[in-house]
Structure 1
Amino acid sequence: MVLPSLVARLLITLLGVVYPSYECFKSIAKIEGASSQQSADVLKRWCMFWIVFGCFVALEPVADSLIFWLPLYYEVKVAFVVYLWHPRTQGATFVYDSFIQPTLLHYEYEIDQKLDALTSKGQQLFQNYSAYGIKWAQRRAVDLFSYIQQSQQAGGRVGANAQGAAGGVNYSAPQTAAQAATNAFGSRAHAE
């Protein structure tokens, strides 16, 4: 029987995320009464599973686009996920010890350098864009308050004397805050 990709995706989610999550929940409850060595072993085993499964999920789209046509491809994926957490096979421990840990140890310094650079660049971008957003919001608030003040001074109508804020268009007094915002920002919001 050949599994459709949707069924395989559902099985991978159930067997690779839901079931291991529940097992982790049960392990945490058991850890409280166990010795520190047993606790450490259980925690280490599940951490290895989640690291390997994370790598699997990261590489899965690439494999799906390249080798989806192989016979029994989806069945192999489901079997691999079960292999990773099953107590008899302890596949996650084997994959982690054989492939992932040596690779990460070899490239750890470079990965840390790249992560530090990305973090600092992300913080700089956030600071720049948040400052820009605050300035934009301040300008919009000033425009809104100016419009409301001019509208009240003109007795509910902004006419030819208040062309700067209203753009030369007659507006009637807004009945709601939403109308005031639309009148104040309507023509200017698209210009910036």
Structure 2
Amino acid sequence: MLGELLSKVLLLLFGYAMPAFECFKTVEARPNDAHMLRFWCQYWIIVAMVIAFESVISWMPMYGEMKLAFFVYLWYPKTKGSDVVYDTFLRPIVMQYEPNIEQRLLHLRGKSGQLLSFYVKNFADKGTAFFMDVLRYVVSDKAEGSNLEM
């Protein structure tokens, strides 16, 4: 359990916080350095893909440690793994399916307004009903009686 916590803290520091700060420095200090901007864009694209597919592979033993090692490999200056992973694996696959992905995303964008209004309405209705039920319980005699027993 302690190992898992340590793994999550290290992942937070070396997988997200440190690369985010390095990316920030590149954007602010060297906005015209196209190579470094491309490098950090590739890193964040790969991280997003890993997170998107995490539910499929997170059952593996030592997944957190492997994820941490992979993220460090991606940004470590001597390996520059994001260039390798992006150019070798990710770019060819996405380029192959780009028209299909684009078509599906356009369809989802078109439906997103309807979907958002559906969820907001249902959440508001159910959230209001739940809040009122909790409020009724809190002010009821039953709640007062149970507090006295405790």
Structure 2: gaps spanning 5 or more residues: 126-150
Encode CA deviations 1:60-84: one digit per residue, 9 max, x unaligned: 232112x22xxx5443322111101
Is 1:29 aligned to 2:28, yes or no? yes
Q: Compared with structure 1, are the counterparts of its residues 119 and 88 closer, same or farther at alpha carbon in structure 2 (3 Å cutoff)?
A: same
Encode CA deviations 1:39-76: one digit per residue, 9 max, x unaligned: 111110100010011112222232112x22xxx54433
Secondary structure of the corresponding residue to residue 53 of structure 2: helix
Q: How many pairs align?
A: 123
Is 1:82 aligned to 2:72, yes or no? yes
Equivalent of 2:52, from 58, 65, 80?
Answer: 58
More helix by share: 2
**Taking every aligned residue pair, what percent have the same amino acid on both sides?**
37
User: Which fold has the larger relative contact order, with Cα–Cα distance below 8 Å and residues 6 or more apart in sequence?
Assistant: 2
1:9-158 alignment runs, 5 A limit: 9-32=8-31, 36=32, 39-65=33-59, 67-68=60-61, 72-126=62-116
Secondary structure of the corresponding residue to residue 4 of structure 1: helix
When normalised by structure 2's length, the TM-score is 0.71
Which aligned runs of 4 or more in structure 1 are off by greater than 4 angstroms? 126-130
Structure 1: gaps spanning 5 or more residues: 137-192
Q: Give the conservation status (yes or no) of the 8 Å contact 1:16–1:81.
A: yes
Q: Which has the larger radius of gyration?
A: 1
Distance 2:2 2:46 in 1: 23
Q: AA paired with 1:91?
A: G
Q: Give the conservation status (yes or no) of the 8 Å contact 1:3–1:75.
A: no
RMSD: 2.6
